[in-house]
């Protein structure tokens, strides 16, 4: 559980209609990685309708059904007689009717907008809400939507509010799995949204890091916009790959693991006695007491040929001067930051996912390559 409570749909007995009604269509905000996930598994002619929004966000549409959101497809628009403009207007109108109350959580200088039913990010589309809020925060309205259920608000002239926003944005983004949205902060200007201070690396624990003195911090540098966008995209794909592999490999049923550097194979034993094996490389290790992450290519006990995945992340760090990707030891201010580092290691390599292996004082993270005979 992160800083804020999660809002999930409550199970209901209602049957899901085969042909949902237009009155249930609402907008949904997603990260652009949604398109990459579609491209990997779905022919483009079967993609749902999407529209660019701001930063690395896009808008898509869904039927809000009792237990799930079902994407609006081209054939749904044809069936309902909706063009693109009609769809957007209808969805926003439905959203207004659906939201019974917009509540405020948190305390100044960082506020939280609370709606429920995972609709918080969609409030970005309600212009009238932001018009009423103008002048009630110091400076311009700045928001963060790290996940679909988290909408944070502060003012552009509040240094404390911005610092808190960046920290909680990183924490919520890392914890949001496949519902993560963006690490970019957005500012309200002239009735629309623009990117605010884009390019700052947002990872957990800016103010409270307790890693080793003198080691590189995730907050030590500003990262150029075009480089940060590449990192955001790589990071966002991690959740999609990880969720797919965790389910396919039945990780929740693993009772024993073993890894041998000589053949680079991870052996898994399951609760029913069955076994599976995966070719894997070492990404790095995390020491929780010292709050330190070590990349595998920096570890003298890791054979060089086993760190190719991590080395690809290092190559990106070397090329673009990203300290926490090119330095062997990284001070980790919060454990969620480890997930951020792993997401980049997977996103910049050919790894399918990661496997977390408890090795006593440290936790070793392996990058999964492919399945091999057990």
Q: What is the pLDDT along the chain (374 residues), one digit of tens a residue?
A: 222 222 234 444 444 556 888 999 999 999 888 887 887 788 877 888 888 788 888 899 999 888 788 899 888 998 999 988 889 999 999 999 989 899 988 889 999 999 988 899 999 999 999 999 998 999 999 999 999 999 999 999 999 999 999 999 999 998 887 789 999 899 998 888 888 864 333 333 333 333 333 444 554 556 776 777 677 667 766 665 677 788 889 999 999 999 988 899 999 999 999 999 999 999 999 998 888 999 999 999 888 889 999 999 999 999 999 988 999 998 877 666 788 889 889 888 878 899 999 888 899 999 999 999 98
Beta bridge partners of 279: 265, 370
Q: Tokens 């995966």 appear where?
A: 278
How far apart (Å, rounded) are the C-alpha atoms in residues 340 and 311? 16
Three-state secondary structure call for residue 124: helix
| pLDDT reported for residue 208 | 30
What pLDDT shows up at residue 38? 81
Question: Residue 347: what pLDDT?
Answer: 84
Domain ranges of the chain: 22-98, 103-196, 225-372
pTM of the model: 0.52
Write the CB contacts of 188 (distance below 8 Å, at least 6 apart in sequence): 130, 134, 140, 141, 142, 143
Cα separations (Å) of 248 from 264, 314, 349, 350, 352? 20, 29, 20, 17, 11
């Amino acid at each position: 559980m992160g800083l804020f409570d999660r809002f999930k749909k409550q199970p209901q007995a209602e049957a899901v209609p085969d042909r949902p009604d237009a009155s249930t269509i609402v907008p949904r905000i997603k990260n652009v990685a949604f398109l990459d996930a579609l491209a990997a598994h779905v022919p483009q002619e079967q993609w749902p309708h999407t529209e660019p929004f701001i930063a690395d966000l896009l808008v898509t549409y869904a039927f809000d059904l009792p237990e799930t959101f079902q994407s609006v497809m081209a054939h749904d628009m044809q069936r309902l007689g909706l063009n693109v403009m009609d769809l957007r207007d209808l969805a926003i109108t439905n959203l207004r009717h659906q939201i019974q109350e917009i509540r405020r959580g948190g305390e100044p200088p960082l506020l939280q907008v609370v709606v429920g039913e995972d609709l918080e990010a969609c409030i970005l589309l309600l212009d009238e809400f932001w018009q009423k809020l103008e002048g009630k925060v110091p400076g311009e309205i700045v928001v963060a939507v790290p996940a679909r259920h988290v909408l944070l608000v502060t003012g552009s002239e509040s240094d404390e509010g911005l610092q808190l926003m960046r920290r909680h944005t990183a924490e919520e983004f890392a914890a949001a799995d496949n519902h993560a949205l963006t690490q970019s902060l957005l500012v309200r200007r002239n009735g629309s949204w623009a990117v605010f201070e884009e390019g700052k690396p947002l990872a957990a624990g800016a103010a409270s890091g307790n890693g080793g003195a003198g080691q590189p911090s995730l907050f030590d540098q500003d990262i150029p916009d075009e480089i940060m966008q590449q990192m955001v995209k790589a990071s966002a794909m991690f959740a999609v790959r990880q969720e797919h592999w965790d389910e396919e490999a039945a990780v929740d049923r693993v009772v024993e693991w073993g890894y041998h550097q000589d053949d680079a194979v991870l052996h898994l034993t399951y609760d029913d006695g069955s076994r599976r094996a995966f070719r894997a490389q070492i990404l790095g290790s995390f020491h929780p007491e010292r709050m330190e992450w070590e990349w595998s290519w920096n570890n003298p006990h890791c054979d060089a040929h086993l760190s190719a995945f991590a080395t690809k992340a290092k190559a990106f760090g070397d090329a673009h001067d990203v300290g926490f990707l090119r330095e062997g030891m990284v001070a980790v201010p919060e454990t969620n930051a480890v997930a951020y580092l792993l997401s980049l290691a997977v996103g910049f390599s050919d790894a399918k996912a990661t496997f977390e292996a408890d090795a006593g004082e440290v936790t070793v993270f392996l990058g999964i390559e492919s399945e091999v005979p057990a």
